[in-house]
Chain A
């Protein structure tokens, strides 16, 4: 190699705007940012004049890899997009494939997926709020929330066998049904959640340090948020009650009673509060769902996607062949295309999938909220203080796995 390779990142601005400003590089591996992201910022003293945000450090060719595996094999991969709320990815992906196949999932599966989607939202928001508070020094609040989150991780591990990346969704159903006593333990955790979230509200909401750091910081207007493609808590924090669970109800959301919390100013404080309120709504929904959960099978009886009972695979040739074809060739998904979107904790998570009728997708594209929000990050960071980059970036809640794919 004779000619040196170019610098992997080329900043959009090379020379400072003014004589007395400096250009600094933050990240990609910076202790104060959770997520591997690089921010090139031009500073006037401590004031941020402009920023250039680079992501892609966690790019691992997810979409390319998808074109080389069967529809089933992708489920563990989609888990690793947003690894804080992996179940939502699972269900959104499976929902898309099921729409292509024309499958209607069983009622029990539909309610369970809704319940677990809300559980994931709770875990995701707990993580985001806890990390954001910790970055501002609120160690007690952080530990309260992360303690509850860990109860939830253990509880989900009891159901799925894994702590973070669950691989729990299946095309046409779920991996397994609830273990005994799972819903009882759920209620115990929710009661503890309420106690500790109340303590966090008391510690933080009217805390002068907290308000000074968050109020009016990282502000984005509704018009800007829409133009930048923001969805989820960022868009709702600007006052626009846009939520796919209400606007285009999927799973069992049409049958649930819940509010869509919105903010006023679109600043960091509103994003904190929208997340806190959404967690309460999720708990309310989960309690409704625990009551509504019907008995019955969790998998559809469809030989195109559901694996036959293991005992039958050992005993009869049809089931053995069925099992073999499902593993080797993958489920036969009819030719077509679908854009399936779910309201993930961070915003609209969309799967655009194209099938040519084989057991392997022709194309899988993920519309990840984090990536689109990274495009809006500059708008929220420019004009602020250097120290505000950390809480603002935290409140955007960029998840490297789904941003960089």
Chain B
């Protein structure tokens, strides 16, 4: 059954993307930023991927498309998990938000925005969540030094 699902997923989720690679129980697709939302919608509606687990990014400073945005999905109908990977450049690190499909996107995309500065188009609430207003920079970028100090938040009167 798993092989069958794998084949269907490969053909139907991202028709344009190349072959998906299985990795430790996860099916990995690499896709272009504009394919993300249509692919996720198909996954959700046709394959029951109703749980949007996680979004984060990986910083590869040497690459032209510096940030790899990684989404993880699970389904209540099948055991196979899906990982979608999208590359965006440092000059315009923006990608469409999944906030219209999953409510969990609201919070998780805020964290990714905090840490890497990825802009999720369509998520209207990208206020800091783990960081605070006035924090300069994105701490999980590789060029953010670990020991950098931030201005101290003054006491409120």
Q: Total A-B residue pairs with C-beta atoms closer than 8 Å?
A: 115
Q: Is the beta-carbon distance between A229 and B52 smaller than 8 angstroms?
A: yes
Q: Could you tell me the dominant secondary structure of chain A's interface residues?
A: mixed
B37 at the interface (CB under 8 A from A): no
Chain B residues 32-50 with CB under 8 Å of chain A are 50
Q: How many residues of A contact B (CB 8 A)?
A: 52
Contact A8/B134 with A248-B79, A352-B72 known, Cβ cut-off 8 Å:
yes
Q: Is the beta-carbon distance between A56 and B129 smaller than 8 angstroms?
A: yes
Q: Could you tell me the dominant secondary structure of chain B's interface residues?
A: loop
Q: Which residues of A contact B134 (CB under 8 A)?
A: 5-6, 8
- Bits for B79-112, please: 1 = Cβ < 8 Å to A, else 0: 1010100000000000000000011101110010
Q: How far is the CB of B120 from chain A (nearest CB, A)?
A: 14
- Bits for A68-105, please: 1 = Cβ < 8 Å to B, else 0: 10000000000000000000000000000001000000
Q: Which residues of B contact A341 (CB under 8 A)?
A: 53
Complex CA gap A68/B129 in Å reads 24
Residue from B81, B125, B131 within 8 A of A59 (CB atoms): B131
Q: Is the beta-carbon distance between B132 and A56 smaller than 8 angstroms?
A: yes
Q: Is the beta-carbon distance between A59 and B130 smaller than 8 angstroms?
A: yes
Q: Is the beta-carbon distance between A227 and B102 smaller than 8 angstroms?
A: yes
Q: Is the beta-carbon distance between A229 and B23 smaller than 8 angstroms?
A: no
Residue from B54, B142, B151 within 8 A of A367 (CB atoms): B54
Q: Which residues of A contact B119 (CB under 8 A)?
A: none
Q: Is the beta-carbon distance between B146 and A375 smaller than 8 angstroms?
A: no
B123 at the interface (CB under 8 A from A): no
Contact A10/B133 with A229-B52, A339-B81 known, Cβ cut-off 8 Å:
yes
Complex CA gap A376/B105 in Å reads 11
Q: Is the beta-carbon distance between B151 and A5 smaller than 8 angstroms?
A: yes
Q: Is the beta-carbon distance between A8 and B130 smaller than 8 angstroms?
A: no
Complex CA gap A9/B128 in Å reads 8
Q: Is the beta-carbon distance between B76 and A240 smaller than 8 angstroms?
A: yes
A65 at the interface (CB under 8 A from B): yes
Residue from B108, B142, B144 within 8 A of A375 (CB atoms): B108
Residue from B51, B111, B140 within 8 A of A371 (CB atoms): B111
Complex CA gap A61/B145 in Å reads 12
Q: Is the beta-carbon distance between B72 and A4 smaller than 8 angstroms?
A: no
- Bits for A40-63, please: 1 = Cβ < 8 Å to B, else 0: 000000000000001110010101
Q: Is the beta-carbon distance between A8 and B132 smaller than 8 angstroms?
A: yes
B58 at the interface (CB under 8 A from A): yes
Contact A336/B23 with A12-B125, A372-B104 known, Cβ cut-off 8 Å:
yes
Complex CA gap A6/B111 in Å reads 19
- Bits for A261-274, please: 1 = Cβ < 8 Å to B, else 0: 00000000000000
Complex CA gap A242/B79 in Å reads 11
Residue from B106, B115, B146 within 8 A of A68 (CB atoms): B146
Complex CA gap A291/B25 in Å reads 30
Chain A residues 98-114 with CB under 8 Å of chain B are 99
Q: Is the beta-carbon distance between B54 and A365 smaller than 8 angstroms?
A: yes
A177 at the interface (CB under 8 A from B): no
Q: Which residues of A contact B144 (CB under 8 A)?
A: 64
A340 at the interface (CB under 8 A from B): yes
Q: How far is the CB of B72 from chain A (nearest CB, A)?
A: 6
Q: Is the beta-carbon distance between A63 and B24 smaller than 8 angstroms?
A: no
B26 at the interface (CB under 8 A from A): yes
**Which residue among A10, A61, A372 has the maximum number of chain B CB atoms within 10 Å of its CB?**
A372
Q: How far is the CB of A3 from chain B (nearest CB, A)?
A: 10
A36 at the interface (CB under 8 A from B): no
Q: Which residues of B contact A362 (CB under 8 A)?
A: 58
Contact A9/B132 with A228-B103, A371-B111 known, Cβ cut-off 8 Å:
yes
A23 at the interface (CB under 8 A from B): no
Complex CA gap A54/B53 in Å reads 20
Name 6 interchain pairs, CB-CB below 8 A, sorted by A: A12-B125, A226-B51, A227-B102, A338-B23, A339-B26, A340-B24
Sort A-B residue pairs by CB-CB distance and give the 4 closest, nearest first: A229-B104, A375-B107, A8-B132, A56-B130
Query: Which residues of A line the B interface, CB within 8 A?
Result: 1, 4-10, 12, 54-56, 59, 61, 63-65, 67-68, 99, 224, 226-229, 231, 240, 242, 247-248, 336-341, 348, 350, 352, 354, 362-363, 365, 367, 371-372, 374-376, 379, 404-405
Taking A9-B132, A64-B146, A339-B26 as known contacts, 16 extra A-B pairs with beta carbons closer than 8 A to each other, sorted by chain A number, are A9-B133, A10-B127, A56-B128, A63-B140, A64-B140, A226-B50, A226-B51, A227-B102, A229-B104, A336-B23, A339-B24, A339-B54, A350-B54, A352-B72, A367-B53, A376-B103
